[in-house]
Structure 1
Amino acid sequence: MKIAVIADPHFHDVVSWPGLEGPAFRSFADSIASTRVFNESSPALKALLDDIVRHGISLVIIAGDLSDDGQRAAMAKTAALLDDYTRRHGLRFLATPGNHDLYAIHGRHQSKRFLNADGSHVLVTSDAEMPQGDSVARLVTDDMYCGGYAQALADMASFGFFRQASDLHWESPFGSDDDLDNRRFVIRSADGATERNMIDASYLVEPVAGLWVLSLDANVFEPRNGDLDPVAEASYHDSTSAGWNAMLRHKPFIFDWMSDVARRARAQKKKLIVFSHYPMINPSNGALADEMALFGMSDSLRRVPVRAVAETVAATGIKVHFGGHLHVNHTAVYHDSDGFLVNVAVPSMVAFPPAYKVVGIEAERLTVETALIGDVPGYDVAFPFYRAETDSEGLTGAADHVDFLDRHLALLVRERYLPKEWPADLARLAPMLSLVELDRLAGDPRSLLAEEIGPRVSDGQLTLLDMITDWYRLRKANSLALDFIPPERIARYRALVRRFRTDRSWLPGSLQAQLAKFMRLMSAGLDGNPSADFTIDLRDGAVEDLSRHRGRTERRQTGGA
């Protein structure tokens, strides 16, 4: 048996939007400020599903964030697309809700900018109080509103959240009744004074004989202190940065149920596949301390799970977990005296690298292969509108979907990550310092301050910014990134890492001290890359590398499976 696992499709239909004339293209300026692209989700998800059909796979797991941002129109169109693949190709979809699919009890407003052919944009919002800003027009519509649990789960009803006639077994943490009124728990504010009755969407299903699929709802909408309006978005802590860390505090019943499910699966000899939206193990290649030292508590680091999550899950008997949310390709393993846990981080089709996982189920092992999707018909559907809006970075010169996402990542590094996460002096110097100058600094006997360094780069020279961008490629794609970084650059990076690996004690706060921290991160990125294709021994958690590195062309031709 083979199963496809996809994550974070963030589907946005570019064909039309209620109330708008013509195509419904989102502003690319908004994509530059985001960790994902928007319009490309439409052709990318269709290409991914077509690839799954070509491989003869019928069971598809979706690890959350099915829609763009949970808007009513987006949820309806996402469900319609997936239901069409069910009707035409027999695909069965099992999903878990992501933080972009729903919001707490009553939902929240959404506002998006849609492009006109001349590069201007229209603000489409569900909030009548939202100002028009620099948009040329404003459209207020309920179709833009993101629903709460009841509304969103009704939209995704056929994706495992409710019992289907063909299911051999179905249950939730609350029993066999799939009525949402009987799938509620009490969640309290930090001070204990405010209580809300919240739905949990977790379920266990046996879609085919011998296979159990456990979908865990790891969204946590914690009420803020004070008896605030339960309808207001600001009355809750957003689940985006909470994930499994908040599950430890607010959903202990889920861990008890996980233990019971794992015990019964072993006793009944069922194969158990477990997934949620959020990761259970930090995908940092063991470099968390170095990232904290360089960046402090960045937005990215706020989203990673603490060690106690893996400890608690391993004690339940759950052995392998698939998750999304971070848009990265990664595999991490945790071992302790209670057992082990393997967390497989599944990438997204709307961020670099665009790929999904193919899981083969055997007697005592799982085989996991990574399918990189480069051939996306219509990946450039919005390019004429981007040209009218902005093309200063050559975005519309992308050769294919992968190349477009790679260019988007480079923009993210410059426009989002550097200014928001990096020390200001390194961010300023990144485009100025060449690799030649970095090598000289590594051998300089003085500990220099950043302000002592001016522009030191000539045309055509690789810079610190290039190296940082390649580090983000490695951080997000791991071994897949080796298909996108020339070998000669890898060799130069390794040489620089060695140059900064000396016993010298750089003056704290000096430029070299900061560069040495980054070089440690680069070393982890170069040497700690998990393979894209591997097997997991379900008896001891051993992960065996199937192919350290498969060429880009071969992976595209085979789909990676």
Structure 2
Amino acid sequence: MINQTRRHFLKTSAFLGASASVGFSLTGCNGNSETESPGLRFAVLSDLHVYDTSLGKDGSAFESYVASDRKMLEQSAEILSAMVEKLLAVDGLQAVIIPGDLTKDGELVCHQKVTSLLQPLRDAGVAVFVVPGNHDINNPDAVSFSGETTTQVESVTASKFAEIYQDFGYDAAIARHDNSLSYVAEPVEGIWLLGLDSCKYSDEDNAESPETSGQLTSDLLNWISDQLSSAQAQNKTVFGMLHHGIVPHFGSQPDFFSEYLVDDYENVGKQLATSGLNLVFTGHFHAQDIVSADYNEDGSLMMYDVETGSVVTSPCPFRLIDLDTASGTMSITSTDIDSIDSMEDFATYKESFIYTGMMNLYKVMLPETLEKMGVTLGEEELATLETLAAALHVAHYKGDEAADQTTLAALTQMINSGDATTAYMGSKLYQLAVDDGLADNSVSLSPWSENTAMIHNLLHRIQQTA
């Protein structure tokens, strides 16, 4: 069983005399005090979903696609450009990492657009590292739009992906996995980035539609273990990035959104942590959320999963990370894009867009879920449930969600209704509504504290007696 210790720790940290921080260990943390310890200032962007509007933006086919989604595709390039501009103003920025879904649906022209939009970072001396997402390779949904019709356009293979992004991680790799697009890079001396390819994009997987779920194969896990052993032998600090989550970001995610986690996530996460990888940056679900898994329930074997929201989904965030191995800290701050040149009030537009998109999602998803359960609800009851679920999901996207007392009371009433279906849905929505863990947007982590295990053991005892 995983014990997820999230914002509860922050509330307890005052009792411990600590700042808003939580400890975890990383491979290679025992440095030589006589040598200078490395540091790294880097940014995290995720799920760019860049769309080149030369593929069409008018007509019912494109309008229908956008209406069924929650991504601001038409504004994607402009939002990313605004984000790059902000990053170029960050003093001392050394690297940017992007854990997948670079394009709308893997269109070659969209990949080429991505590299052109990111190039100013490289021109300024900022290293950029990418891995693929489930939309990026061998995607049958790579199409252009014209009026009522769509036309297949060229997507990319795995080898073409590595070629396109040779200047964005692959040429800088100090090790490559033979059977995936995974690699190891060293952004600064002493710190290794493990870029992991968790996607399924074989012809069989993507025969009709892109496969949403992800995996770390046994072959890849063995390769990762070898890289971590090498890192430990060389006293390197290691963190990872991949598209899919390693740790559930809310209690009902494995029930309703399991495809956003790697297959067999608990055993995979435990294996990675045992091998020495305890920190990963992920995307895919488009939410700002930080969560931990305590596999031994005593703080001795941890995994931290820092998920970053989508560039093209409100609130359009990016993270700035200051990693300092000398002091053993890593601070995380988050910034949203609230304005773009082409729109007078982008902040209001993006809020309206995400809520409308989420309502459309739940109007399809909830009836399908209930039908599988053999349950039929009246129109009014179903509409109420859809509205509540959409609002909670939007709040989760922003991070640091805190449902009001009226919402919590309504969910509690559902849980205690006496009706099995109502109670089940109430409990699952409650798990989405309540985020009792680490702060999601701005937080300071202490990766190399010698007291990590002691603190987690104390927290565990407090929780057991609470």
Normalising by structure 2, we get a TM-score of 0.76
Percentage of pairs with the same residue: 18
Q: Secondary structure at the match of 1:40?
A: helix
- CA 272–24 in structure 1, closer or farther in 2 if over 3 Å, else same: farther
Specify the alignment match of 2:420 in structure 1: 508
Read off the aligned partner of 1:350 and give its amino acid letter.
V
* Pairing partner for 1:303 from 260, 265, 290: 260
Q: Contact between 1:474 and 1:526, CA under 8 Å: does it hold in 2? A: no
Paired with 2:430 and 2:220, the residues of 1 have a C-alpha distance of 37
Specify the alignment match of 1:312 in structure 2: 271
Read off the aligned partner of 1:44 and give its amino acid letter.
I
1:492-507 to structure 2, matched below 5 A, reads 492-500=406-414, 502=416, 506-507=418-419
Paired with 2:366 and 2:382, the residues of 1 have a C-alpha distance of 16
2:198 pairs with 1:159: no
Shift in Å, 1:320: 0.2
Shift in Å, 1:25: 12
- The structure showing larger relative contact order (alpha-carbon pairs under 8 Å, at least 6 residues apart) is 2
Q: Secondary structure at the match of 2:64?
A: helix
Read off the aligned partner of 2:207 and give its amino acid letter.
A
- CA 405–370 in structure 1, closer or farther in 2 if over 3 Å, else same: same
* Pairing partner for 1:172 from 152, 176, 193: 176
* Pairing partner for 1:99 from 125, 131, 134: 134
Paired with 1:339 and 1:468, the residues of 2 have a C-alpha distance of 34
Shift in Å, 1:123: 3.8
Aligned Cα RMSD in Å? 3.1
Read off the aligned partner of 1:125 and give its amino acid letter.
T
Specify the alignment match of 1:473 in structure 2: 394
Q: Deviations over 1:289-314 (max 9, x none)?
A: 7xx4xxxxx5x333334322222222
- CA 62–71 in structure 1, closer or farther in 2 if over 3 Å, else same: same
Q: Secondary structure at the match of 2:134?
A: coil
Shift in Å, 1:217: 1.1
Paired with 2:311 and 2:60, the residues of 1 have a C-alpha distance of 17
1:265-344 to structure 2, matched below 5 A, reads 265-284=231-250, 286-288=251-253, 292=255, 298=256, 300-305=257-262, 306-337=265-296, 339-344=301-306
Q: Contact between 1:43 and 1:379, CA under 8 Å: does it hold in 2? A: no
Read off the aligned partner of 2:261 and give its amino acid letter.
V
Normalising by structure 1, we get a TM-score of 0.64
Larger-Rg structure? 1
Paired with 1:98 and 1:311, the residues of 2 have a C-alpha distance of 23
* Pairing partner for 1:257 from 220, 223, 227: 223
Paired with 2:160 and 2:351, the residues of 1 have a C-alpha distance of 35
Q: Secondary structure at the match of 1:260?
A: helix
| Divergent runs of 4+, >6 A | 22-26
Which stretch of the first structure deviates more once superposed, 213-222 or 345-354? 213-222
Specify the alignment match of 2:17 in structure 1: none
Paired with 1:171 and 1:419, the residues of 2 have a C-alpha distance of 44
Paired with 1:222 and 1:411, the residues of 2 have a C-alpha distance of 33
2:142 pairs with 1:110: yes
Q: Contact between 2:105 and 2:141, CA under 8 Å: does it hold in 1? A: no
* Pairing partner for 2:69 from 34, 44, 53: 34
Q: Deviations over 1:190-217 (max 9, x none)?
A: xxxxxxxxxx111111132222111111
Shift in Å, 1:527: 4.5
Paired with 1:467 and 1:351, the residues of 2 have a C-alpha distance of 19
Q: Contact between 1:8 and 1:349, CA under 8 Å: does it hold in 2? A: yes
Shift in Å, 1:327: 1.0
Specify the alignment match of 1:413 in structure 2: 358
Specify the alignment match of 1:5 in structure 2: 44
Q: Contact between 2:83 and 2:337, CA under 8 Å: does it hold in 1? A: yes
Q: How many residues align?
A: 398
Q: Contact between 2:252 and 2:431, CA under 8 Å: does it hold in 1? A: no
* Pairing partner for 1:367 from 328, 331, 340: 331
Q: Deviations over 1:380-413 (max 9, x none)?
A: 7xxxxxxxxxxxxxxxxxx32x433322232233
Q: Secondary structure at the match of 1:311?
A: helix
Specify the alignment match of 1:138 in structure 2: none
Read off the aligned partner of 2:77 and give its amino acid letter.
S
Q: Contact between 1:8 and 1:325, CA under 8 Å: does it hold in 2? A: yes
Structure 2 runs not aligned, ≥5 long:
1-39, 457-466
Shift in Å, 1:348: 0.4
Q: Contact between 2:42 and 2:97, CA under 8 Å: does it hold in 1? A: yes
Read off the aligned partner of 1:72 and give its amino acid letter.
L
* Pairing partner for 1:234 from 196, 207, 219: 207
